[in-house]
Chain A
Amino acid sequence: MQKLEELQLVRRASRGDLAAAELLLRRHQGGVHAYIYRMCGKWDVAEDVTQEAFVRVLSSLKNFDETYRFSTWLFTIARRVWLNMCEKKKPSSAGDASDSWGARRDALEGSMSRDHEQRTMARDAIQLGLMLLSPEQREAVVLFHQLDWPIRLIAEHMQLPEGTVKSHLHRGRMRLKEELVRGVGEVVAIEQRAGSVPMFAKRALTLDPTPRTGEASR
């Protein structure tokens, strides 16, 4: 969304236009949810944080500083909400430092058993790998690769120098690659015991990004 268009929506929403508020919500909810989910690995926590962030932001649009982008402000609030939640619920929401792919997979699956789609996601090898990174590495990787943020903006968001963000990003990528390769044997063995090896998981674990015909899109 162009900055000007976004600003017009924010102004309308701050005047009480629910349609504009809903548009802002629909435009950004996917990104915020993806960000928080990738950070914490828990679907329900990501939903709760996203909801709370939007409620706070839409309730205080009059405080919005128009020199910034709405999305930047929104993600800052979402991050704060999530960190506050982590403080209250330590350590479950922040992502444990378990080094086991099996344990991590089980923890993820247990946290979101609502439907098949989410169970499938629990086997998302990328998510498993991300949870093994440090929070700083994970955040740099998620913002850069998932949300396509530039380094400068990530540095601003994380309140770190750009060089430090790059270092987290580089270390995160290298470790993620190593973890995915290391996790092949363990996860495939688990899935085989469960009777199936999802194609996307195989693909992720062998680092093959090519989509296959007939595979459920996500």
Chain B
Amino acid sequence: MKPPSTNAHLRLHRDEPAHREEARRLMQAVLDGEISEEAPRLQELLRLDPVLSAEFDELQKLEMLLTQRPAAVDLSDRVLAELRVRQAQRVAPRLSPFFGGLAASVAIGSMLVWGMIGRSGSPSPSTMPTLATAGLNTGLAVGAPSVSAEERLIEDARLAIQQTTGRSLRERSEGKREPTNLALGQPNDLADQVDQATRLAIADRAVVHEPVASASGDAVAISRAGITFVNPGPSRTPVAKLANDPMLGQPVGGSDWQPGATRRRDNVRFLVSGWHDSDGNTVPVTNTKR
């Protein structure tokens, strides 16, 4: 008895000409990326049979359509919040309130110390943890969770930013437009307050590594809830040749950085794509929203 053909599905009808099965096998091989669509045998079969030619055309268009992905999602806040809750649930029963409080105190203390050092501009960026890691690692070091402490810190940071910008960063306004009082690239009265908010020790921040050509050593970037604040540092001056710098480019729209000024942008229109972390890795700006 003849074994069933592995390409049986390629013959759509019992009475179809045999060459169509071969042609469909070749078409699928093209779509699988195994052979070129210019393969002589396929071209010959397609020339001979307009039905096959139309079928191949449809399959290639289908291939194009299949690359369309669904709309992007951003679940990072949800995931990180759930992660914290589960971590807290795992550890909380084993801890006394005293140790929980101790962890929080140590976490806050380390951040404040780091914040003060950071303002002095003296330490090497490579030795500075981000506040997020400082909180987490401190908690782990004393055997107690810093989760609740960290959550409070982040909440405080959000509140501080809300107070200075007049808008909660959790809000997702329609079209995710800039709040009118912090318009893209425009100087405004709130700039100083925002600047202070970015310098608060209770906000997440990342230190831009010295070797980044377009940033000074004390530049900071804070990314929260889809919005990034970047202060390139007091010695940063606009330089035309850095316009295409992937790390700290010029703002979109032709306006320049002012030395030491904090700028706020939606990441999608913002040319800052990342910074170097303490391990020397390039870390992209994390809160990318459409």
Q: Is the interface of A mostly helix, strand, loop or mixed?
A: helix
Q: Which residues of A contact B55 (CB under 8 A)?
A: 177
Nearest chain-A residue to B138 (Cβ)?
A: A16
Option from B67, B136, B279, B287 in Cβ contact (under 8 Å) with A145 = B67
Option from A145, A173, A204, A209 in Cβ contact (under 8 Å) with B28 = A173
Determine if B106 is an interface residue (Cβ-Cβ < 8 Å).
no
Option from B32, B63, B87 in Cβ contact (under 8 Å) with A151 = B32
B161-198: contact bitstring with A at CB < 8 Å (1 yes, 0 no)? Answer: 00000000000000000000000000000000000000
Listed residue (A15, A25, A118) with the most chain B CB atoms within 10 angstroms of its CB: A25
Min CB gap B285→A, angstroms:
10
Q: Is the interface of B mostly helix, strand, loop or mixed?
A: helix
Whether B65 lies near A174 (C-beta < 8 A) is no
- Pairs A–B under 8 Å by Cβ, sample size 10: A12-B279, A18-B133, A25-B76, A26-B74, A29-B76, A30-B69, A33-B73, A174-B9, A176-B66, A209-B64
Min CB gap A79→B, angstroms:
17
Option from B28, B69, B86, B286 in Cβ contact (under 8 Å) with A170 = B28
Given A5-B281, A126-B68, A176-B62, residue A29 in contact with residue B73 (CB < 8 A): yes
A59-70: contact bitstring with B at CB < 8 Å (1 yes, 0 no)? Answer: 100000000000
A137-155: contact bitstring with B at CB < 8 Å (1 yes, 0 no)? Answer: 0000100111000010000
Docked pose: A169 CA to B284 CA in angstroms: 35
Whether B58 lies near A166 (C-beta < 8 A) is no
Q: Which residues of A contact B130 (CB under 8 A)?
A: 17-19
* Contact count band on B: 35 or more
Docked pose: A29 CA to B69 CA in angstroms: 13
Q: Which residues of A contact B240 (CB under 8 A)?
A: none
Determine if A131 is an interface residue (Cβ-Cβ < 8 Å).
no
* Contact count band on A: 35 or more
Docked pose: A65 CA to B31 CA in angstroms: 33
Docked pose: A208 CA to B58 CA in angstroms: 9
Min CB gap B201→A, angstroms:
17
Within A142-189, the residues touching B (CB, 8 Å) are: 144-146, 151, 163, 166-167, 169-171, 173-174, 176-177, 180-181
Determine if A88 is an interface residue (Cβ-Cβ < 8 Å).
no
Given A18-B133, A55-B82, residue A47 in contact with residue B279 (CB < 8 A): no
A-side residues, CB < 8 A to B, are 5, 8-9, 12, 15-19, 21-23, 25-26, 29-30, 33-34, 37-38, 43, 47, 50-51, 54-55, 58-59, 117-118, 121, 124, 126-127, 141, 144-146, 151, 163, 166-167, 169-171, 173-174, 176-177, 180-181, 204, 207-209, 218
Determine if B61 is an interface residue (Cβ-Cβ < 8 Å).
yes
Q: Which residues of B contact A15 (CB under 8 A)?
A: 137
Option from B58, B72, B74, B206 in Cβ contact (under 8 Å) with A207 = B58
Whether A37 lies near B283 (C-beta < 8 A) is no
Determine if B277 is an interface residue (Cβ-Cβ < 8 Å).
yes
Whether B87 lies near A59 (C-beta < 8 A) is yes
B45-71: contact bitstring with A at CB < 8 Å (1 yes, 0 no)? Answer: 000000000010011011111111111
Whether B80 lies near A37 (C-beta < 8 A) is no
Given A19-B130, A23-B283, residue A29 in contact with residue B74 (CB < 8 A): yes
Min CB gap B213→A, angstroms:
21
Whether B62 lies near A55 (C-beta < 8 A) is no
Docked pose: A163 CA to B32 CA in angstroms: 12
Whether A22 lies near B80 (C-beta < 8 A) is yes
Option from A23, A29, A54, A218 in Cβ contact (under 8 Å) with B71 = A218
Docked pose: A58 CA to B78 CA in angstroms: 13
